[in-house]
Structures are given as structure tokens and as C-alpha cells.
Amino acid sequence: MPRPPLCRHVAQEPGVTYFKPRGVPITNLEQVVLSVDELEALRLADKEGMYQDQAAERMKISRPTFGRVVETARRKVAEALVEGKALRIEGGNFEMADLRSFQCTECGHTWQVVFGAGRPAECPNCRSRNIHRAAKGRGWARGSAWGRGAGPGRGMHEGRGRHGRGPRANPQGGNA
């Protein structure tokens, strides 16, 4: 019996899920289905220019598996382009990767980076190096020795005191 496939980590959901040749009604086209994890493999290998071992690590799969996934994805895209078929992006065995949010102090731009990808050197919008982690979506509670996993009702909770009970104290005295 074959081993069940592992979930592949995907950093972003596709913004567009359908491509077709211009001027041809959709009802007249054959379709090729590209899975979301295959699209992620194409993004990492071809758009980001990563080596297969780096990309495989990012998707949390082995390097040989990554090679097979990206080869299948390239074959499907080539088939759609060469034979004039529609390309539909959907499904696959994946889960969304954890993301960290950053904000630029200069222009206010906020963006997300995959956890484990390292700290960005500069803002992608204005190239300022004056960036910091955005408060929203930090992924862990402040002051916690336990690290990640503090969600609503645990640790620091927006609009509440340290333990999520009652109103937050106002520094000028009284309650907020």
C-alpha cells in the first residue's frame, strides 16, 4: 500500500484561478487542471528562482518530490499554452503556510512573508529599510515564554488586560 501524501505548504492562494485563450468561448475549450501546490512549486522555482532544495524545504517536502511536482506543473502549463487549452487552478494536497506581517514606517505599506523565510531587508513598496513587524498577526503573545499560539482569550488580548479579563488599564488613571 502506498504511503499517503504529505500536505505541502503554500505561501499564498492564487489571485487568479482561470486562464484561457483570448476570443475562444469557454464552452469550446478543453481544460487542464493545475493544483494549488503545483502553482506554488512553479512560483518558487521559476518566479522566485529558488534552487529545488530551498523550494522543497519551503514547501516542507523532499527535494525529489519537489522535482516531480514542478515537472508535472511545467508539463501542464506547456500543454495548455501549446494546445490552446484553458488552465484552471484548483485543489491539491496543501495547507497554507504561517505568515508574518511587516509594516513600513515610511510609507505605511503592510505585507506578509512566509514564516521561516527570514526578515525582509526593505519595504517592497518604497525600498525603505525602516520596517518593523506589524502588531496585527504577529503569531505569538508578547512577553510569553511559550512562543507561538496565543490566540484570542490567551495572553495579550486586544482591548483587555493582560489575562483577557476586564478593561485595559489607562496610563492616565482610571479605566480605558
Encode pLDDT of 86-95 as tens digits.
Answer: 999 988 777 7
Q: Do residue 109 and residue 147 come from a single domain?
A: yes
Cell 518593523: give the residue: 132
pLDDT score recorded for residue 31: 95
Residue type, 172: Q
Q: What is the mean pLDDT of residues 6-16?
A: 76
Q: Do residue 12 and residue 90 come from a single domain?
A: yes
Q: Do residue 125 and residue 87 come from a single domain?
A: no
**Listed residues 78, 96, 114: the one ending a domain:** 96
pLDDT score recorded for residue 17: 87
Query: Number of structural domains, the chain?
Result: 2
Q: Do residue 132 and residue 67 come from a single domain?
A: no
pLDDT grade for 72, boundaries at 50, 70 and 90: very high
Cell numbers representing residue 128 in the block: 525603505
pLDDT grade for 143, boundaries at 50, 70 and 90: very low
Cell 502588531: give the residue: 135
The rounded mean pLDDT for the chain is 76
On the question of pLDDT at 114 being above 80, the answer is no
Nearest to residue 14, comparing CAs of 84, 104, 98, 94? 94
Three-class DSSP category at 26: helix
Q: What is the 3-state secondary structure (H, E, C) of 71-133?
A: HHHHHHHHHHHHHCCEEEECCCCEEECCEEEEEECCCCCEEEEECCCCCCCCCCCCCCCCEEE
The backbone torsions φ and ψ at residue 37, rounded to the nearest 5 degrees and listed phi first, read -70, -30
Q: Do residue 73 and residue 43 come from a single domain?
A: yes
CB 39 within 8 A of CB 89: yes
Q: Do residue 44 and residue 110 come from a single domain?
A: no
H or E element in which residue 69 lies:
helix 63-83
**Listed residues 50, 79, 96: the one ending a domain:** 96
Task: Specify the pTM.
Answer: 0.57
User: Does residue 169 sit within a domain?
Assistant: no
Residue type, 38: E
pLDDT grade for 83, boundaries at 50, 70 and 90: very high
On the question of pLDDT at 96 being above 60, the answer is yes
Cα–Cα distances in angstroms (integers) from residue 38 to residues 48, 84, 146, in the given order? 14, 20, 35
Structural domain boundaries, residue 65: 8-96
